Amino acid sequence: MEPIAKKSLIGQRVPKPDAPDKATGRTTYINDMVLPKMLYGKILHAGRPHALIKNIDVSAAKALPGVHAVLTAADVPEMFFGVGRDNRPLKGGKVRCVRDEVAAVAAESEELCDEALRLIKVEYEDLPAVFDPAEGAKEGAPLIHDNKPGNRSLAYQFKHGDVAAAEASSDVVIDSVFNVHYVTHCCMGTSCVIADFDCDGKLTIYSQTQYPYNFKMDLAPALGIHPGDIRVIQPPVGGAFGSKLDVYPFEPVCALLAQAARRPVKLTFSREEEFINAPTRQPVRIHMRTGAKKDGTLTFRKVDCLLNNGAYTSWGPTVPFVMMRTFSSHFRVPNVDIDCRAIYTNNPYAGSFRGYGNVQATYATSIHADMMAEKLGMDLLTFSLKNAQKSGEVTPQGARLNECVFAECLQKAADVTDFTAKHARYAAERNKPGRIKRGIGMASSIHNAGGAKIHKSDGCGTMIKLDDYARATVITGASEIGQGIDAVICQVVAEELGIPMSDITIVNNDSAIAPWDVGVHASRTTFIAGNAAQRAARKAREQMLNAASKRANMPADALDLREGWVVHDSDGTPVLKIDKLLREMHFSREPELVMVSEYYEPPSEPENKEHVGDMSAAYSHAVHVAEVEVDTETGEIRIVKFTSVQDVGRVINEMGLEAQLEGGIVMGIGYALSEELKIVNGQVRNPSFRDYKVLTAPEIPPMELHFIESHSSTGPMGAKGIAELPTIVPAPAIANAVYNAIGIRFFDPPMTPEKVARAIWERDSKLAAAE
Amino acid sequence: MSQVPKESAPLEGYAAPSTVEEALRLIADGDATILAGGTDLMLQTKPGGRLPYRRKLVNIRRISELRGVSEKDGRMSIGALTTITDIDNNDLLNTVTPVLPQTANCFASSQIRNAGTVGGNICNASPAGDMIVPLLVLDAEVELSAWTNGAVTTRLVSLDKFFTGPGRTIKQPNELLTRIVFARPDKKLFAGYIKSGPRPALEISTVSAALSAIRDNGKLSRVRIALGAVGPTVLRAVKAEAYLEGKTVTAQVAAEAARLAAEDASPIDDVRATAWYRRHLIQVYIKRLLENDSQG
Ligand SMILES: Cc1cc2nc3c(=O)[nH]c(=O)nc-3n(C[C@H](O)[C@H](O)[C@H](O)COP(=O)(O)OP(=O)(O)OC[C@H]3O[C@@H](n4cnc5c(N)ncnc54)[C@H](O)[C@@H]3O)c2cc1C
């Protein structure tokens, strides 16, 4: 036998194991699933923002042949659920937003459900409504929940240092109000759930959830059953992006229908329902004051945030957790004073969404950096480098920036795009004649990259077993929602066990099998589940090497596992095939199977009451540069080139990394330029892809991606979490580029052609009038 | 605005004739819904849509005589079932009136272009119907056919007179739009088309504009301007047309024509754009079309 050299899979380009089935249409998504004897469910939504329910008559719907259950609030116990425990599966008494679920039916087909819904007669008495949080906070505003005086929902404050003194000592102060808008996730698979009770009252729920374990805890109170009696099965889903990080009313409603009908029930949203009823990104009014010294040193940030809570509290109004981190740590900010309030209104409500508040906060901090640099007469790179933290610094909220390569990212981004020279050139050409103006803009941000300890644990459980043929099964709590964790886990485990990736099966779709994990959020899964998988794999490796050591009569640390063989670590000489070793271990007088488990908890700490704590096990930065062309007549913006430089810790799967970055950037560009859920008087005005514009292939610009490897001491193989920064940074990079091109700031994305054309026209009309 | 779908009457019959005569006999009682590519119809008649089906559904897609482009005695003829893709790829049109393929090229997506027909685009009578805009500046007429007193009868109607409002035309329920005809354009005629949007494909026009004129020694004559999505129907900018007649294009002339065209339009504010922006774009586009700069 030839010796087997040591090779690493880490940093290679590895296709996602689920990709071929998805690309060829073989995958059965939850939306495709049909269970025997399954019924269909549908919800009657209020369609009005604020009204008393005077009467509901369901008799005709109940009498329709083929209808198996019709439910209203009167039929189910009054159970509250949700982040703010202010939501109910079915609403009685009054409705507070267009989404409100007033009745639900289960029938033999979706068409019958529609017919049954038409037969339900609801009498409403409309109430005065409030849609603007500033109005909602005023005395005498319509009260949305009786037990929420002043319509006050969640509130957050963080203070550090002395902002007043810092302002007094500042040479330059800028003050702006940003209004960031509603967007929605636009998952390819619309919301869908299948609920099935057995005769003992135990619920199996087929769900798109991205947090299966706490999902049980959150769903149980809406149904009045024990969380232990819920089994969550996760079939493949068509996207989540944070929209499946909470329980939403359609899920308990479907379970209640299944309970009432004693049959499995499937409930799926139409695309129109999805636009109206699925969570949005949290809109925020951000009032920010920033100060600096003449030499460019930032002195303070004072931030006031007003959040439109909507009618109920999902994760949306908790985004200040992350926004405050950005306000206090995007650049070195010695003094900060942040005040955030969410006010109930009769609008639809927001959930979590990739970037989680940081998309909103970075729009403000990165535009202010550009404005400050201009005001100081410095170039943005110099200004940014001056205020970029270095490794070892601790932020006002207690984040320890280990392995911090912010400055390297900034420098690299500027170098590869020729940023400073181009920026000066385009600014000089701004006022010359010409219809098309070019601009270049830079933005940056920081994000947690080693999980986020916002729950009691931020851990992930993993079990590995090997069979007699050296095939491994990895049973992990980490959910695959399309982000690519299966590939990463295969790589990490294959690397430790010396077996091919194709010999590894991942099981992570059944809460009755896989151990606990907090969920797919906070850019955490590669970091946390990767660490858990690596540790579990090392236990299996140790067991195998110990067994091999006895058989080979060599110390275990002189052996290695490579390409299906136990080999000499020193020169790669093959000793024994791994499958043979496993069989010998199994079928011996002291039989042993390789089956190991690990629960990994990252070395992070929850925030204290003052919002201080090193809540992530790693942090990372990204710098984006957008080069744009603005048509000054039509207002159309074309992105000529998009460059991203990101601290990724270490590249594990280069292909997965590129896909996450490209997808995230496209989402970020949509946020900047075209996507907006238009909500007027509580109604969603554009509930279709015709009028809600996501980017399509022709508008996606050429991208250049650079990975900076900072080698996290805590990450798996040195990796950091990467998935949110790509969505966080594009919008302000584009806004800064547009400013460079035409000299106009946009504080209220998206920068639609109309908005841009209008701003140019208004400016030019004013100039003309002045002449 | 309730989210519950409205009722639509159940269908009683379906037919897929393969000749015009057969089709006309089937719809003679005026109680049939006509299905061509279905790219408008399917959306409108779904639960929640604005149109209920009539009693019969008559699929005209198999009438091969209504598909294709031909020329005879200086008259161009486009069959109602010619798809948008057919127009995009048609050699004859590409030589004779490139503005039509050019319009087809920024129409929807390949999938929709493959299914959607020019007749459907016209009969749907959307104020944003893209093919209508350049056909208007070519002085096109539509041929309407019916089965009356035991024979096929036809009438020719100027496209200009065809539309009476959004989704409304003078076509009778027993009539089929069979062909679009127009005179082969003069060699000196130039025509251009612009549609708004950062992604013209798959964009329901916020504004679209077409202009054609004969340019002789710099002077314009036979000027036609059509505007989409800025009124209840696709409309002609008659004041701007009259103003341009006999003029040589200068920056001032273009600006004045643009201003008049914006006056000719009656745009509204809706979820896609404000009236202000629509008027603004009309002016930008008219200037560009006069400068023969339709690449945008
Ligand atoms: C995703 C998408 C994108 C789109 N993009 C565009 C776009 O960019 N520009 C644009 O203009 N449109 C667009 N449309 C609308 C539509 O595709 C076009 O209007 C298309 O040309 C309609 O043709 P059709 O053959 O599909 O018509 P159908 O849907 O079959 O019919 C439309 C209407 O006309 C009637 N009808 C059809 N043919 C005849 C006939 N010969 N005689 C009498 N009545 C008839 C039908 O009864 C119906 O009322 C889009 C549609 C979709 C779904």
Residue numbers in A near B277 (CB within 8 A): 753-754, 757-758
A231 shares a domain with A248: yes
Is the Cβ–Cβ distance between A520 and A214 less than 8 Å? Answer: no
Taking phi over 0 as left and psi of -120 to 50 as alpha, with beta for the rest, A691 belongs to alpha
Cβ–ligand 1 contact at B201 (below 6 Å): no
Tokens 């659920």 belong to: A81
Average pLDDT, chain B: 91
- How far is it, in rounded angstroms, from Cα A300 to Cα A290? 6
Secondary structure string (H, E, C) spanning chain B? CCCCCCCCCCCCEEECCCCHHHHHHHCCCCCEEEECCCCCHHHHHCCCCCCCCCCEEEECCCCHHHCCEEEECCEEEEECCCEHHHHHHCHHHHHHCCHHHHHHHCCCCHHHHHHCEHHHHHHHCCCCCCCHHHHHHCCCEEEEEEEECCEEEEEEEEHHHHEEECCEECCCCCCEEEEEEEECCCCCEEEEEEECCCCCCCCCCCCEEEEEEEEECCEEEEEEEEEECCCCCCEECHHHHHHHCCCECCHHHHHHHHHHHHHHCCCCCCCCCCHHHHHHHHHHHHHHHHCCCCCC
Chain B interface includes A738 (CB < 8 A): no
Nearest residue in chain B measured CA to CA from A634: B281
Q: At what angle do helices A730-742 and A358-376 cross, to 10 degrees?
A: 30
Within its chain, how far is the Cα of B56 from the centroid? 26
Taking phi over 0 as left and psi of -120 to 50 as alpha, with beta for the rest, A242 belongs to left
Cβ–ligand 1 contact at B174 (below 6 Å): no
B280 to A757: CB separation less than 8 angstroms, yes or no: yes
State chain A's maximal CA–CA distance in angstroms: 99
Of A600, A620, A640, the last residue of a domain is A600
- How far is it, in rounded angstroms, from Cα A620 to Cα A465? 34
State chain B's maximal CA–CA distance in angstroms: 62
| Segment B55-64 mean pLDDT | 95
Closest CA to A103 of A44, A173, A53: A44
Tokens 């830079």 belong to: A442
A717 in a structural domain: yes
- How far is it, in rounded angstroms, from Cα A451 to Cα A710? 17
Beta strand ranges found along A217-334 (DSSP E) = 230-233, 265-268, 284-292, 298-310
Give domain limits for chain B: 13-58, 68-183, 189-295
| Segment B155-175 mean pLDDT | 97
A432 shares a domain with A414: yes
Task: Tell me how long chain A is.
Answer: 771
**CATH, residue A588:** 3.30.365.10
Checking if the pLDDT of B50 tops 80, the result is: no
Nearest residue in chain B measured CA to CA from A275: B3
Q: Which amino acid is at B129?
A: G
Identify the bridge partners of residue A703 per DSSP, sorted by sequence position.
A642
Count structural domains, chain A. Answer: 3
First to last CA, chain B: 39
A301 shares a domain with A389: yes
B7 to A118: CB separation less than 8 angstroms, yes or no: yes
Strands A335-344 and A298-310: parallel
Confidence of residue B43 (pLDDT cuts 50, 70, 90): confident
Q: Which amino acid is at B94?
A: N
Burial class (CB in 10 A: 0-12, 13-18, 19+), A198: exposed
Residue to mutate (ligand 1; options B24, B26, B33, B39; most atoms within 8 A of CB): B39
Sign of CA dihedral A25, A28, A29, A33: positive
> Chain B residues with CB-CB distance to A under 8 A?
1-5, 7, 47-48, 196-199, 201-202, 204, 271-274, 276-277, 280-281, 284, 296
Residue numbers in A near B284 (CB within 8 A): 633-634
Q: State the distance from the centre of ligand 1 to the C-alpha of B36, rounded, in angstroms.
A: 8
3 state SS of A632: coil
**Residue B140, CB-side half-sphere exposure with 13 Å CA sphere:** 27
3 state SS of A268: strand
Residue to mutate (ligand 1; options B20, B24, B34, B40; most atoms within 8 A of CB): B40
Residue numbers in B near A98 (CB within 8 A): 1, 3
A505 shares a domain with A389: no
Q: State the distance from the centre of ligand 1 to the C-alpha of B115, rounded, in angstroms.
A: 9
A319 shares a domain with A294: yes
The DSSP code for A674 is T
A634 shares a domain with A616: yes
Test mutation, A681, A754, A756, chain B, max B CBs within 10 A? A754
Query: What per-residue confidence (pLDDT) applies to B2?
Result: 35
What is the residue with the minimal CA distance to atom 52 of ligand 1?
B39
> E strand or H helix at A580, and its extent?
helix A578-586
CATH topology of domain B68-183: 3.30.465
Backbone angles phi, psi at A491, to 5 degrees: -60, -50
Tokens representing B184 are 């082969």
A136 in a structural domain: no
Instruction: Name residues of chain A where pLDDT drops below 50.
Output: none
Query: What per-residue confidence (pLDDT) applies to B3?
Result: 38
> Domain range holding A480?
19-26+459-600
Of A575, A600, A625, the last residue of a domain is A600
Query: What per-residue confidence (pLDDT) applies to B106?
Result: 87
- How far is it, in rounded angstroms, from Cα A636 to Cα A770? 27
Q: Which ipTM did the prediction report? A: 0.92
% pLDDT > 70, chain A: 100
A695 shares a domain with A562: no
**CATH, residue A265:** 3.90.1170.50
Chain B interface includes A276 (CB < 8 A): yes
3 state SS of A122: strand
- How far is it, in rounded angstroms, from Cα A326 to Cα A260? 47
B277 to A757: CB separation less than 8 angstroms, yes or no: yes
Of A561, A580, A600, the last residue of a domain is A600
Whether the bond into A750 is cis, omega within 30 of 0 = yes
A206 shares a domain with A70: yes
**pLDDT (tens digit per residue) in B185-232:** 999 999 999 998 655 445 666 899 999 999 999 999 999 999 999 999
Residues 6+ apart with CB under 8 A from A19: none
Cβ–ligand 1 contact at B169 (below 6 Å): no
A727 shares a domain with A693: yes
- How far is it, in rounded angstroms, from Cα B148 to Cα A671? 57
Who among A47, A685, A691 is closest to B3 (CB)? A47
3 state SS of A284: strand
Nearest residue in chain A measured CA to CA from B283: A633
Residues 6+ apart with CB under 8 A from A260: A68, A69, A71, A75, A106
- How far is it, in rounded angstroms, from Cα A275 to Cα B271? 15
Query: What per-residue confidence (pLDDT) applies to A636?
Result: 93
Q: What is the CATH superfamily name and number for domain B189-295?
A: CO dehydrogenase flavoprotein, C-terminal domain (3.30.390.50)
Cβ–ligand 1 contact at B20 (below 6 Å): no
A118 to B3: CB separation less than 8 angstroms, yes or no: no
- How far is it, in rounded angstroms, from Cα A348 to Cα A746? 25
A403 shares a domain with A519: no
Who among B47, B202, B277 is closest to A754 (CB)? B277
The model's pTM is 0.96
A448 shares a domain with A365: yes
A587 shares a domain with A615: no
Q: In what order do the strands lie in the sheet with A703-708?
A: A436-448, A619-631, A637-647, A703-708
